[in-house]
């Protein structure tokens, strides 16, 4: 299955992926980063899958989410008739994680097949199956699963199967739930009640969306995807609900993205507030404040869903990987890297929240001031960069720009709210960083900012320079950078993250979708909304049939690649839609409060 063939299910604590063919090939419970119990996505059906589909030829498949929800309807048209399978995960609350599938006949009489292979610990274990009156129980170590259904089941080789048929108006329910194996199986509500409650919850949530700019349908669909990747318990936003989906088919750049990157922080706050979701924005801010306490030198670039620091990386050698892309990894060694730019994202959060609340909470300022003073001490130090290369530290232009953001935003917060701060010293450091970036990070002959100091390679991350207010959006150096990145890193409208070390073209690598959306935003603020709109609509066409985007797009094979769905892609989509709206509608600029000068926080005008 290509990634475009999958749809996302979630309960705000865990997630699953279901294919167009009716197979759930990925399920992590009880948390986003728990060991998968259905792992066919990274292997085959023997590594865990739950199939519910017609046991006959299928002529056509169509699917859609119920409006404003994450409840998925998949319609199968066959020679015998038509059937709809509805898949969803009830919003959990105090109950167990559940995955519910409802099969309903539409016309004719369609033969169906159900096959469940639960394989805990990423497909490594075959659990013992115990038949019960309404289904079967599977137990393995700490995990217990119960399949509840009125269907007649047979069990063999740790697999439960059922053959049945549905006609018009006939419905069959199947419910799989997890609980700790040392506890009793919890009582759960019936499937129809759970579906009604889940639809109502999602529609209430999506109905609160305050975004009224251009491309509203795409923005709202992306907000739902982002919400589905957000922990209702901790407020953390994971980068993606999957691990080891490759950036290149057959390649080794296969990483675990089921964690919360601080780099996503400022963008997450912006889009949540743009959508009117203040409660979620403040919950995420709370998560950031909890993980960023203590010595700023100890701040990591990413954390677990609960704020865990140790994300030790190891390989799962028993899995062949998605389309033979190995190794399959769990954990992420990049959590141990030094990436200077994350401090800029953290202080941007402080400025965004201060602007929204109209005040700075006393307990917060001392924390943020400690971050600023740490950046004063380390900004000259080479770092590992935004793209998490494992080639050793360098002086990355984007990292230095974000160090400038730290000082700039801190100064503006202190000045606006009369806070105690060494403003003269901070102002001098800010100006020093700015001058150094313009001298060593800018190639005057090529009229573009570069990836690292005094080297020719380009970096799509430098598209952020006008977006964070480092330079005015109409500055000739900004225009030159936009054009160079579009021409040298772009192909067919899609942008690679960076060029080769010697400045050559990136070749046929996957194009990071977030970078392409950054180009849209940069074009919009640069006074080229028509170019921005054309590229944005090209990118929208790359979404799958239910509006989801992975991390990258593979141009040679015309398909999505990387972990799926990717929060960063959807965050950048929303930012780009807002930038287009702001560039073409003065009224919208005022209503969103997201002009070029204020998009990243308190009075973020360049100097």
Going by C-alpha positions, the residue among 420, 301, 407, 315 that lies closest to residue 365 is: 420
pLDDT tens track for 558-598: 999 999 999 999 999 999 999 999 998 754 443 333 333 33
Going by C-alpha positions, the residue among 88, 89, 97, 185 that lies closest to residue 137 is: 185
pLDDT tens track for 239-282: 999 999 999 999 898 999 999 998 887 788 889 998 999 988 88
Confidence band for 509, pLDDT divided at 50, 70 and 90? low
Confidence band for 504, pLDDT divided at 50, 70 and 90? low
Would you say 510 and 554 are in contact if contact means Cβ atoms under 8 Å apart?
yes
Give the mean pLDDT of the chain.
92
Give, in order, the Cα–Cα distances in Å from 117 to each of 40, 155, 176. 10, 10, 12
Helix (H) or strand (E) segment spanning residue 267: helix 265-274
Give me the sign of the Cα torsion angle 360, 366, 367, 369. positive
Which has more pLDDT, 350 or 175?
Answer: 175
Q: What angle do CA 64, 66, 70 make, to 5 degrees?
A: 90
Q: How many C-alpha atoms does 448 have within 13 Å on its Cβ side?
A: 23
What distance in Å separates the CA atoms of residue 594 and residue 325, rounded to the nearest whole number? 41
Cβ-Cβ contacts under 8 Å for 279 (sequence gap 6 or more) = none
Q: Is the pLDDT of residue 45 over 70?
A: yes
What is the DSSP-derived secondary structure letter of residue 42? G
pLDDT tens track for 49-104: 999 999 999 999 999 999 999 999 999 999 999 999 999 999 998 789 999 999 99
Residue 293: how many other CB atoms lie within 10 Å:
13
For the chain, helix (H) and strand (E) counts, in that order, are: 15, 27
What distance in Å separates the CA atoms of residue 267 and residue 282, rounded to the nearest whole number? 13
User: Of how many residues is the chain composed?
Assistant: 607
Cβ-Cβ contacts under 8 Å for 133 (sequence gap 6 or more) = none
Would you say 188 and 174 are in contact if contact means Cβ atoms under 8 Å apart?
no
What distance in Å separates the CA atoms of residue 35 and residue 45, rounded to the nearest whole number? 16
What is the DSSP-derived secondary structure letter of residue 453? T
Q: Is 174 exposed, middle or buried (0-12, 13-18, 19+ CB in 10 A)?
A: buried
Q: Which two tokens stand for residue 516?
A: 């392409």
Strand blocks (E) in 463-527: 490-491, 494-495, 511-512
Q: What pLDDT is attached to residue 505?
A: 65
pLDDT tens track for 134-149: 999 999 999 999 999 9
User: What domains can you pick out in the chain, each with its CATH number?
Assistant: 3-183+190-204 (2.70.98.50), 208-592 (1.50.10.10)
């Amino acid at each position: 299955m290509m990634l475009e063939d999958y749809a996302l299910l979630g309960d705000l604590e865990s997630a699953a992926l279901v294919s167009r063919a009716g197979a759930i090939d990925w399920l992590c419970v009880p948390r986003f980063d728990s060991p998968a119990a259905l792992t066919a996505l990274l292997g085959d059906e023997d590594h865990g899958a739950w199939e519910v589909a017609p046991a006959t030829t299928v002529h056509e498949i169509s699917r859609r989410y119920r409006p404003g929800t994450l409840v998925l309807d998949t319609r199968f048209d066959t020679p015998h008739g038509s059937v709809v399978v509805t898949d969803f995960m009830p919003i959990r609350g105090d109950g167990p994680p559940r995955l519910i599938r409802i099969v309903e006949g539409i016309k004719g009489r369609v033969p169906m097949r159900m096959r469940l292979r639960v394989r805990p610990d990423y497909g490594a274990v075959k659990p013992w199956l115990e038949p019960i009156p309404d289904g079967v129980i599977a137990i393995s170590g700490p995990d217990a699963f119960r399949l509840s259904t009125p269907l007649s089941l047979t069990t063999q080789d740790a697999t439960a199967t059922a053959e049945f048929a549905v006609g018009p108006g006939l419905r069959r329910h199947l419910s799989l739930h997890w609980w700790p194996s040392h506890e009793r199986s919890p009582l759960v509500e019936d499937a129809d009640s759970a579906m009604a409650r889940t639809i109502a919850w999602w529609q209430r949530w999506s109905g609160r969306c305050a975004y009224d700019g251009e491309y509203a349908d795409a923005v709202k669909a992306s907000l739902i995807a982002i919400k589905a990747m957000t922990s209702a318990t901790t407020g953390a936003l994971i980068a993606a609900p999957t691990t080891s989906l490759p950036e290149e088919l057959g390649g080794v750049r296969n990483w675990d993205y089921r964690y919360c990157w601080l780099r996503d922080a400022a963008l997450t706050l912006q889009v949540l507030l743009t959508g009117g979701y203040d409660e979620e924005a403040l919950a995420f801010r709370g998560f950031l404040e909890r993980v960023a306490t203590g010595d700023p030198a100890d701040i990591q670039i990413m954390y677990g869903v609960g704020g865990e620091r140790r994300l030790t990386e190891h390989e799962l050698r028993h899995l062949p990987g998605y389309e033979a892309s190995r190794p399959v990894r769990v954990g992420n060694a990049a959590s141990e890297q030094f990436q200077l730019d994350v401090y800029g994202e953290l202080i941007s959060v402080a400025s965004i929240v201060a602007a929204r609340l109209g005040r700075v909470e006393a307990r917060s300022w001392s924390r943020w001031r400690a971050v600023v003073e740490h950046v004063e001490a380390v900004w000259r130090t080479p770092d590992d960069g935004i793209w998490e290369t494992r080639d050793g530290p360098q002086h990355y232009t984007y990292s230095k720009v974000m160090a400038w953001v730290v000082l700039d935003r801190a100064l503006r917060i202190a000045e606006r709210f009369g806070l105690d701060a060494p403003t003269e010293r901070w102002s001098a450091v800010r100006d020093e960083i700015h001058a150094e970036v313009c001298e060593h990070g800018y190639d005057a002959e090529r009229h573009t900012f570069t990836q690292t100091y005094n080297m020719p390679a380009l970096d799509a991350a430098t598209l952020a320079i006008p977006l964070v207010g480092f330079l005015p959006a109409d500055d000739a150096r900004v225009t030159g950078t936009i054009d160079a990145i579009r021409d040298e890193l772009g192909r067919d409208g899609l942008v690679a993250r960076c060029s080769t070390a010697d400045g050559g073209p990136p070749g046929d690598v996957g194009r990071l979708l977030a970078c392409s959306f950054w180009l849209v935003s940069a074009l919009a603020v640069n006074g080229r909304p028509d170019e921005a709109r054309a590229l944005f609509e090209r990118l929208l066409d790359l979404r799958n049939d239910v509006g989801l985007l992975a991390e990258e797009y593979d141009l040679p094979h015309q398909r999505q690649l990387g972990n799926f769905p990717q929060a960063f892609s959807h965050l950048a989509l929303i930012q780009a839609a807002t930038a287009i709206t702001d560039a073409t509608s003065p009224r919208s600029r005022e209503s969103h409060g997201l002009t070029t000068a204020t998009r990243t926080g308190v009075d973020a005008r360049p100097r």
